[in-house]
Amino acid sequence: MYWKDDDANEQELIAGDIVDVAFGVSGHTLPVDHAHALAVAVRQALPWIADEPLAGIHQIHVAASGNGWYRPEDTEGAVLHLSRRTRMVLRLPRGRIAASQALTGTVLNVDGHVLEVGKSAVKALNPLPTLFSRYVAGGKGDDEETFVAEVARELTAMGIRVRKLLCGRSHEVGTPRGPIFTRSVMVAELEKADSLRLQHSGLGSYRMLGCGLFVPHKGIAPVKGASED
């Protein structure tokens, strides 16, 4: 019972400490490969965000880009067409919610594309058993087996019990210093505490570019085996 009590307290702490803040945005288009430009624009409006180790900026996805499991191989010049339902989501410590409201009413320049930021809504972390990250950074030369093994090792080091792990297609996130190699990752059959811990802490580097940020995923078929493409 002692350990169960500790788990319950940890769940309450983690669930309340980190949240997603979703801002309504308006504009016409964004580059498909917009992560770096968006991070620069957000940091200009919220300079403190770069000093928050658990803060992150989700990449913006719209219906035309699918659910993020697949994106165009050639992103040069490709754009996303924004809709009224498009949201820009920041993962932030709860104590920074008020400070993040400085974004409302601002106009961001994302690589020459105008993004007007509206009001926001706060969403708590949801401890669903299946989590999905569109981009988890890894070594460019890593094959799928090596990538999955490294992800499993990192999760285990975080104290997260890995039952089922699915690796998706590779994707490169562009930066001025060169592309960052990533793969999409789904982790299934997580305990509630582990689900919250993974969303809270993320996995790997480049959170400002949307990498390693996990979100709940509903309605998938059971994962067979440790890894599939």
Q: Which domains does the chain have, with CATH numbers?
A: 2-124 (3.30.70.1890), 131-216 (3.30.70.1210)
- Amino acid code (one letter) for 204: G
Within a 10 A sphere around the Cβ of 23, how many other Cβ atoms? 22
Q: pLDDT band at 225, cuts 50/70/90?
A: very low
Q: pLDDT band at 143, cuts 50/70/90?
A: confident
Q: Which two tokens stand for residue 146?
A: 């090596």
**Taken in order 44, 46, 50, 54, is the CA torsion positive or negative?**
negative
Q: pLDDT band at 71, cuts 50/70/90?
A: very low
Strand residues in 100-147 grouped as ranges (E) = 107-110, 113-124, 131-137
Q: Give, for 89, the enclosing helix (H) or strand (E).
A: strand 87-93
Q: pLDDT band at 76, cuts 50/70/90?
A: low
How far are the Cα atoms of 109, 113, 169, 177, 192 from residue 31, in angstroms, in the given order?
12, 8, 20, 18, 36
Higher pLDDT, 223 or 76: 76
Q: Residue 96: which residues within 8 A CB-CB, separation 6 or more?
A: 48, 49, 52, 55
21-65 per-position pLDDT tens digit? 999 999 999 999 999 999 999 999 999 999 999 999 999 987 644
The mean pLDDT value of the chain amounts to 86
Within a 10 A sphere around the Cβ of 128, how many other Cβ atoms? 17
Higher pLDDT, 110 or 10: 110
3-state secondary structure of 94: helix
The whole-number pLDDT of residue 7 equals 55
Average pLDDT over residues 4-11: 51
The whole-number pLDDT of residue 222 equals 44
Average pLDDT over residues 15-26: 90
Please report, rounded to a whole number, the percentage of residues in the chain having pLDDT higher than 70: 82
Between the ranges 56-65, 69-78, 161-170, 201-210, where is the mean pLDDT highest? 201-210
State the Cα–Cα distance between residues 87 and 26, nearest whole angstrom: 9
Q: Residue 50: which residues within 8 A CB-CB, separation 6 or more?
A: 43, 208
Q: pLDDT band at 2, cuts 50/70/90?
A: very low
